Every structure is written in structure tokens, then in C-alpha cells.
Structure 1
């Protein structure tokens, strides 16, 4: 009998899938699991001239609202503060946006661009 993957393993697999999906769409990886004292950003990518902060959300099913429902206003605030901290380290501020890659069960990833401001 094979062991069930841990939540951390499932999260890593979802990020791997999201990364491959976005790279196939032409985005370039800048950083993965970028952390600071304020939080973590799953993927930071370049899309043409835009810096993209990507939140990857995996849910086994749509039960309890699914993957998108898990990006709560509190999570959005935390991502925004973390991104601001990241941007302070740069010599200039490029155009930016927040995207999400939603993965539910065995369905294909759903890429949502500009999910909040």
C-alpha cells in the first residue's frame, strides 16, 4: 500500500504543475516560495514587462467553496504586504499584478490574472 501524500507534498506538486503551466504560457520564473517576515509568495514571475505575484491554490474538490474561495481578504492583505516588501528591495518598481492558479482535483489548472489590486 502506498502512503498518501502529505499536505506539503500536495502543495509542492500543485506549485510544480502551476509553474509548468505558466512557463508554457510564456512567463519566466524569478523566484519560488519567496519568504520574508510578512509571509510567502508562491511564485514570482515575469510576463512581458510585468512582474507577476502568483498564488497557487489546490483543493481536492469544490466542497467548501473550492480553491478560489480560499483566497480570503485576509490572505489578499498578507500577499499585498509581502509583495510590497519584495518591491522595496528593487531599484525601480515595474508594473505588477497578482494572479492565481487554481487546481481542483484532477482538473486542468485555471489561471486567473489580476485577481486583486
Structure 2
């Protein structure tokens, strides 16, 4: 597996742990439907939260939220709609982005964008 794939997988694990520490419950990880995938599906305050995780080793090339384009959003929504149907979810939903940033000293920081789109 390529290094960037390893970093992305690790970022997803770190984001899940961080969200759990902040009161979220993990429902699914890397949920796939057709060509669409949701990194994390969490529940928080009776809201089903679909989370896209983006890793950045700095902000020189932009911030995490800038890398979720129209096509990616459509794919996330497609996978989310399928998951909602499968589990027969009747309550509110939300789409979030969690940026995982590694600074020069190696420290990991998080930036959470709640209700980022849709």
C-alpha cells in the first residue's frame, strides 16, 4: 500500500478516536456502496453523521475542507442515502469534514467542520 494510503487510513483511525472522545459513537468505518465510500459514520445527539476525513501534513497546498469537491460530495451523499435506507434511519443526518493536520514537530491536530455541505 502506498504511503499516502497508509497515512489516510491512520488519519481515519485518529479522527474516529478523537470523535469518540468528544461524545460520538462509531457506527461504521469505510462504508462502501458501488463506487462511493464514507470514511466514518458516527452518531451524535441522535444525529447520524457522515464524516469525510482528510489528512494534511501542512497547509501549504490548502486546507482539508478544500479537497472535498462536488464529485466527492455527490459520492458521499449516494453512499449515505444507501446506508440510511439499509438501516431504516428516520432521524436527522449531517455531513461533516474532519481535517487531520500534522505539524512540523509531528503533533496531530484536528479541525472539525460540522454540517459542511448538503
If the length of structure 2 is used for normalisation, what is the TM-score? 0.88
Which of 50, 60, 63 matches 1:63?
60
Which of 65, 89, 94 matches 2:86?
89
Q: Is the 8 A contact 2:31 2:79 kept in 1?
A: no
Deviations 1:15-51 (A, max 9, x none): 1110111001100000011111141100001102100
Deviations 1:74-95 (A, max 9, x none): 1111111111111111234221
2:111 aligned residue: 110
2:29 aligned residue: 32
1:42 to 2:43 alignment? no
Q: How many positions carry a matched residue from both structures?
A: 113
User: Bigger shift: 99-108 or 68-77?
Assistant: 99-108
In structure 2, what is the Cα distance between the partners aligned to 1:104 and 1:82? 26
How far the C-alpha of 1:62 sits from its partner, in A, is 1.4
Deviations 1:36-72 (A, max 9, x none): 1141100001102100001000122212322111011
Q: Is the 8 A contact 1:66 1:104 kept in 2?
A: no
Gaps in structure 1 of 5+ consecutive residues:
none
If the length of structure 1 is used for normalisation, what is the TM-score? 0.88
Gaps in structure 2 of 5+ consecutive residues:
none
